[in-house]
Amino acid sequence: MSRYSRITGTGSYLPPRRLTNAELAAELASQGVETSDDWIVERTGIRARHFADPGVNSSDLGLEAARRALEAAGRQASEIDLIIVATSTPDMVFPSSAAILQHKLGVAGCPAFDVQAVCSGFVYALTVADAMIKTGTASRALVVGAEVFSRILDFKDRTTCVLFGDGAGAVVLEASDQPGILATDLHADGKHVGILCVPGHVSGGQVLGSPMLRMDGQAVFKLAVGVLEEAARAVLAKAGRTEADIDWLIPHQANIRIMQGTARKLKLPMDKVVVTVDQHGNTSAASIPLALDSAVRSGQIKKGDTLMLEGVGGGFTWGAVLLDF
């Protein structure tokens, strides 16, 4: 009998502090940085984002999302035998945020590790979990995307600080004799490392380089639309499906223009695209599971729907997952 993996529960969590564009613009103006709601919306589609309070880490946000996903799946944390956290903003250099999350869930013993592929992180993590379940290494996985990007933003750079937010999303992925994840496709090209990065590291007790996010927005945009289309077509081909089989496209929530461009290339109307970027901003590895959970809980996504998840991020990394929900 063939062994597959299926998503059995979703969950998400946003920190309580919500900043509209107008509120963020007012804060930035006090530091001499000019922006406006109109400027942000026109370029990105973002209207608000959530920021975590000081002392709240990625694992704290991930814990709340994980609890909700476990509840939706009807599972206890003790039943999970694999934990993967996708994050670019871990609690510490080490140990992994996954190990910290495991402890906060009150369990021990199962493998727990982080995946670092920036905004493609959740797609990478889901692909790894799917492979481990299919080979029998795991049976019930908790896959989490959790970020506190507000900690690495340069609030004097209006081209980046208005884009990002904090949050977490999670899924429970379980072994099944019925196909759930149909196909995956992952890629990276390190020659583009400089267009989206945080070029700093810790050495001798000091930060060398810049600990703040740097991005060449135009270069990212040009690369993103093309590689997202390629990854989407690759998973469709692997699964023997076509664009017409996609019920919902759930792209990384970075910029509404990139999302619109990808939908056009796949000949999908925007009413088949899950959009949360307007309320969440870009939450990096958390954006896809946040959008997924939002659409599940609102009733947009129903059992049996075919979903295309796709992400692109620093590295340069990209990938897609096609699944039956």
Structure-token pair, residue 265: 């290339």
- For residues 82 and 109, is the Cβ–Cβ distance under 8 A? no
Residue 8 in this model has a pLDDT that exceeds 90: yes
Of residues 50, 57, 252, 255, which has the active-site annotation?
252
In this predicted structure, the answer to whether residue 193 has a pLDDT above a threshold of 90 is yes
Concatenate the DSSP letters of all residues of 36-64 into one string. -HHHHHHHH---EEEEPPTT--HHHHHHH
Query: What is the pLDDT confidence band of residue 11, given thresholds at 50, 70 and 90?
Result: very high
- Angstrom CA distances, 55 to 13, 45, 61, stand at 16, 29, 11
CB 166 within 8 A of CB 61: yes
**Tokens of residue 96, six digits:** 């992994």
CA distance 6 to 159: 39
What does the pLDDT read at residue 183?
98
Q: How confident is the model at residue 212 (pLDDT cuts 50, 70, 90)?
A: very high
| Active-site residue flag, 252 | yes
Residues linked to residue 249 through DSSP beta bridges, in sequence order: 273, 308
Give yes or no for a contact between 253 and 119, defined as CB atoms under 8 angstroms apart. Answer: no
Residue 246: what are its φ and ψ, rounded to 5°? -80, 120
Tell me the C-alpha distance between 73 and 154, whole Å: 39
**How many whole angstroms separate alpha carbon 75 and alpha carbon 51?**
29
Per-residue pLDDT tens digits for 234-251:
999 999 999 999 999 999
Question: Which one-letter DSSP state was computed for residue 79?
Answer: G
Burial 85-122 (b: 16+ CB within 10 A, else e): bbbbbbbeeeebbbbbbbebbebeebebbbbbbbbbbb
Rounded average pLDDT over 184-200: 97
* pLDDT bucket at 179, cuts 50 / 70 / 90: very high
pLDDT of residue 257: 95
The active-site residue out of 21, 57, 255, 282 is 282
Q: Is the dihedral of CA 198, 312, 168, 277 positive or negative?
A: positive
**What CA–CA distances, in Å, run from 278 to 205, 270, 274, 291, 295?**
39, 14, 11, 11, 14
Active-site choice (119, 161, 197, 280): 119
Q: What is the mean pLDDT of residues 186-210?
A: 96
Catalytic residue status for 110 = no
Active site residue 119: yes
- Residues 33-42 have a mean pLDDT of 96
Across the chain, mean pLDDT equals 97
| 293-320 pLDDT, tens digit each | 999 999 999 999 999 999 999 999 999 9
Residue 267 has pLDDT above 90, yes or no: yes
Cα–Cα distance for residue pair 77/141, rounded to 1 Å: 10
Look at residue 1 in the predicted model and tell me its pLDDT. 78
pLDDT reported for residue 69: 99
> Which of 5, 302, 2, 47 lies closest to 180, judged by CA?
5
The pTM is what? 0.98
- Sequence-ordered strand ranges (E) for 121-193: 140-148, 166-176, 181-188
State mean pLDDT over 227-236.
97
CB neighbour list of residue 201: distance below 8 Å, 6 or more residues apart: 207, 208, 209
DSSP state of 273: B
Structural domains of the chain in order of their starting residue, each with its CATH number: 4-176 (3.40.47.10), 181-324 (3.40.47.10)
